[in-house]
Structure 1
């Protein structure tokens, strides 16, 4: 009998533990009668006892290092509670940091069950053999992956960029006198930003705070395990507390403040903080919690200190916050706004912004520079597809650093950062502008970089040339494909003379397999592009926009939910009138959402391209639809297909392929043509193209 404390593992996890592919594990299960029986899950996504799997792998000489990290994580995950698992990992990290290494693992750890304490001891022992920092980072990474829907983190490349910008813009006195830099993160989460600051190569004191006790404990353990670069000294700690309501780090005056605050939180303390001294630029409206965080960061800076804050783009334009934005500009505190490409950090669907703020140094006579540096990284590095969730960080980082330097926003010895001296001679990179503050202080005080940057001539010529080249190639391809389709003859046969069948009848006859997509469970959907352990999730809203999936599921969640995964060669049908279509799927496997259907044709009876082309006919959808409204459902089982031999199907298949290619060419030509119209209009209006046509 299986123990009630059995640790469940899926087929995918067994494959990872054994160092083989998932198909190999499925083969073992099918071929070996001794393979353990499932203890949970479903027939589609079974779960097995970790102990029984370990014994079976050992008995069959298929066991990889059973004391490694991959074997440890399922035991942590089996604790069940997000908080207890996180606290156990944090406790293991603190122990592995060396603070209690000589005394070993204590018998009692506050807030942890006996099982959790056993796992802490295992993690501590593993850390002694395989590296403390590596073991902790592995467990933390798996915990974050398991809770990715509830916890937003700052990607490491973005955290490194924010720390570097803060250091560059800070006003540096003639002599630092060996003073240790103080770095603060008032909403530290698990400590990504502070960890990046710990790698800047200077002696630093890192201080973080978070209202979630689990995140604060994890951040504290992470900071305790930071490497000490040669010749530097890193001191770090994280506290539990609400920085806005009751800041436990209120006494700190920092040189650098890095912050990725929570977005759109209405319950941030609006009523109880109405008279707070931090609101030097105005009481933040209830709907503007991000501006409360901005003013909090400024209040914690010492003279000459810099804050870099990651914010949603609406903060730069919402009418409710214009008075505070105007005050920040007039006082010269806001030095730069950087628009990041969509996908730089959660939420991946929007172009987030970095606000770079600096308190005037003690010897600065001017309260500000008179200009705001606007850097439009979103336009400089546009996302070619919604599948792309991460930018080219090397190129983006080099662009932003260059813009900060050439735009005059780097700190110096008692100088006014970004001053006007020599501004007329400055040649700024493309998509960068130094805008006079007076030009921004209008009724809206809109600080969105893209609204104030006029595309320059640099790079427009080659881009237009490339667009025209592609346009010409598309026209040629369109002509070739259209010419081939134009040769198709209209048959004289009666349309009703050929017998038809339905998808439902084909499914019953075994000619195809029909599966319908479903809505994933709450909390399992991730935004952006999937990593190696996930699959894209296609939904009807995606089809209505541009056909590109915007979300994904982890393989574990997809298996647990029995998600419908389409493979290359499967036919996908959208069963909603306003988005009705059918096509042969190509590319990576993909999960289907509700009202999407997967048809896998038997290759000896049906040609996939013939099937897809037949199903997508508008007349077919009209016959199978409910006709109630544009959102009415199309009954896929009632869609009709002509009954013709396979050889004849394959002849029609080639024509259907040509129609699909023709459709893609028309869509791409329309999109490119619209872009050319916009670019030509901009260049002609700016006088950068000759008016002679």
Structure 2
């Protein structure tokens, strides 16, 4: 694909196009006089001509086979306007599905129309759905500060909750409703989770660009399934385009804290069956809007800020929702589940009263679920452990209509009489904190586990304290780069993932990144099983080449793909012991001499790391000691966590009283 020379691209864009890290592009720029000259930007953030960059990459053999999508996106970004680039992406998707479709319902510039045509041709050759999802993701990343989307894993969880909690079977197929659909994450998740053959989607979005992108996304779903979708562009509260329509499930992630939601003009609206929402409580207007569109026994799941559960202005409406059985459960999510990431958002599970002609349950309590403990705190934005979170929330909600079954830990049934007080506070943490105090048996078990851990620590400390070292013998070392040249090991570098498949069901492989190491060390993403990403196999040495997370270890278990700044070293077993190599590499002094340490994000030059030169038979003793040292470090971490947990638990028990002197 030929790229217009007038389109500017940054160093980060060039790195994406070439499939390398940004540092590699900076090195090319310094080392090659023929590298394109800057056409704009600043010295810190320079911009280059896309056409000149493409020509240079091809001439110098730096262009990997990433298809034409990476060259295509900068031209969408160069359109300038957020709305025009979004509408152009939506138009490209429409033409991918229907090459001879009539003109779009929205206005596009001549440049945007031509770009949509070119993108459609590329999509038909490289995969329409994949090309659209690529362009949509890049558009969302570019305008992330202006948009609030529902993460795919949260959308899938909400859809599964709604499908599992509705009463009765959907007659004539399932109808899904979303009055603030954005780019269609929630309706798309419902379509993917629903295994029936007949599905109807009714959705609304006030922003024309978002509505067009949602329509395009759902259009791909209709290709191989009986899905009828209608996306309206309107203000759902002021101008309800689906008045009178009823749905089996409703999903919504509405805008938060919008005071201008129509308080004056909607004062007498019939949707306010539980009371007129105060001007400061727009979220309760969305709650009642969803309920007004549910069929008998239908379920709505809505994302809400935590203040809605306790604000004084909304207590009368919350009380009515409880008394009528409309509010069935509240789930407190971990911080980082969705924007804003610093807040522990909540899911409210609402249910419309079942048909009066059919016997229905009598509600005497509400299920409150505190899932905040599944957070995975990181260096910047926290994120949940999605697999554990999904399992816990769904298992808790399985007991929703089974009063004889006890919910799991951190979930509790609260009688309505206990909630209908002067505050009507439905915040889960207020009620689950007292219910999770450890029993005497649990405390005794924790003390026993701590004692065993301390005993193991003492054993390791006794052994390690007897180590003796010769100080007069000169030890020689070899750099990793030299060992690679000698064939003693092979080195592969991880890279930025260009094809994460978080929401697909194809065969996948876990993806480990530096961000995962800064959290809990578990892979958080997945890649296609046939990805070209560097993969660590059982017995390989993995090294994190960044100062803030520098470490090395021998990989155990199934294969794992490596992200940027992670490296895999595969040893020749006749020359090197893997545990010996990992122990030498992770020495702090080794990392210091091989890294710049200008900042916490500075990189460690893996090829400069030093390894002792010892015969293979002498490496064994070192390898055993290195492994014992790692076990000692792991025990220290475990013992620290056990001790702090016991301090907190015993403090809670003491503060609750009942101490036997």
Output one character per residue of 1:98-147: Cα deviation in whole Å (capped at 9) or x when no partner.
2x32x2786x8742111111110111011111111111111000000011
Distance 1:237 1:470, change over 3 A: farther
TM-score normalized by the length of structure 2: 0.68
Q: CA deviation at 1:532?
A: 10
**Matching residue of 1:441:** 420
Q: CA deviation at 1:218?
A: 0.7
**Matching residue of 2:259:** 266
Q: CA deviation at 1:385?
A: 5.1
- State the distance in 2 between where 1:467 and 1:311 align: 40
Distance 1:252 1:407, change over 3 A: closer
**Matching residue of 1:172:** 168
Show the 5 A alignment for 1:7-406. 7-65=7-65, 68-96=68-96, 98=97, 100-101=98-99, 103=100, 110-173=106-169, 176-177=170-171, 179-199=172-192, 200-202=194-196, 203-226=198-221, 233-362=226-355, 363-364=357-358, 368-379=362-373, 381-384=374-377, 387=380, 389-406=382-399
- State the distance in 1 between where 2:640 and 2:41 align: 48
**Matching residue of 1:432:** 411
Check whether the contact 1:190–1:216 (CA below 8 A) recurs between aligned residues.
Answer: yes
**Matching residue of 2:649:** 679
Secondary structure class of the residue paired with 1:406: coil
**Matching residue of 1:544:** none
Q: CA deviation at 1:31?
A: 2.8
Secondary structure class of the residue paired with 2:270: coil
Secondary structure class of the residue paired with 1:429: coil
Check whether the contact 1:259–1:308 (CA below 8 A) recurs between aligned residues.
Answer: yes
Check whether the contact 1:568–1:588 (CA below 8 A) recurs between aligned residues.
Answer: no
Pick which of 327-336 and 62-71 moved more.
Answer: 62-71
Check whether the contact 2:36–2:48 (CA below 8 A) recurs between aligned residues.
Answer: yes
Secondary structure class of the residue paired with 1:444: coil
Distance 1:474 1:90, change over 3 A: farther
Check whether the contact 1:95–1:105 (CA below 8 A) recurs between aligned residues.
Answer: no
Q: CA deviation at 1:30?
A: 2.4
- State the distance in 1 between where 2:444 and 2:378 align: 22
Output one character per residue of 1:315-357: Cα deviation in whole Å (capped at 9) or x when no partner.
0011110000000000011111111111111111111111001
- State the distance in 1 between where 2:452 and 2:306 align: 33
Show the 5 A alignment for 1:478-497. none
**Matching residue of 1:452:** 431
- State the distance in 2 between where 1:4 and 1:70 align: 13
Alignment gaps of 5+ in structure 2:
463-510, 517-544, 550-563, 567-591, 601-636
Output one character per residue of 1:553-589: Cα deviation in whole Å (capped at 9) or x when no partner.
xxxxxxxxxxxxx97399xxxxxxxxxxxxxxxx999
Distance 1:143 1:460, change over 3 A: farther
- State the distance in 1 between where 2:200 and 2:448 align: 51
Secondary structure class of the residue paired with 1:225: helix
Check whether the contact 2:67–2:126 (CA below 8 A) recurs between aligned residues.
Answer: no
Secondary structure class of the residue paired with 2:328: strand
**Matching residue of 1:542:** none
Secondary structure class of the residue paired with 1:224: helix
Q: CA deviation at 1:395?
A: 1.3
CA RMSD of aligned residues (A): 4.0
Q: CA deviation at 1:226?
A: 1.4
Check whether the contact 1:334–1:372 (CA below 8 A) recurs between aligned residues.
Answer: yes
**Matching residue of 2:530:** none
Alignment gaps of 5+ in structure 1:
409-417, 481-530, 537-565, 571-586, 590-602, 613-666
Secondary structure class of the residue paired with 2:325: coil
- State the distance in 2 between where 1:678 and 1:532 align: 32
Distance 1:401 1:669, change over 3 A: closer
**Matching residue of 1:622:** none
- State the distance in 2 between where 1:339 and 1:473 align: 38
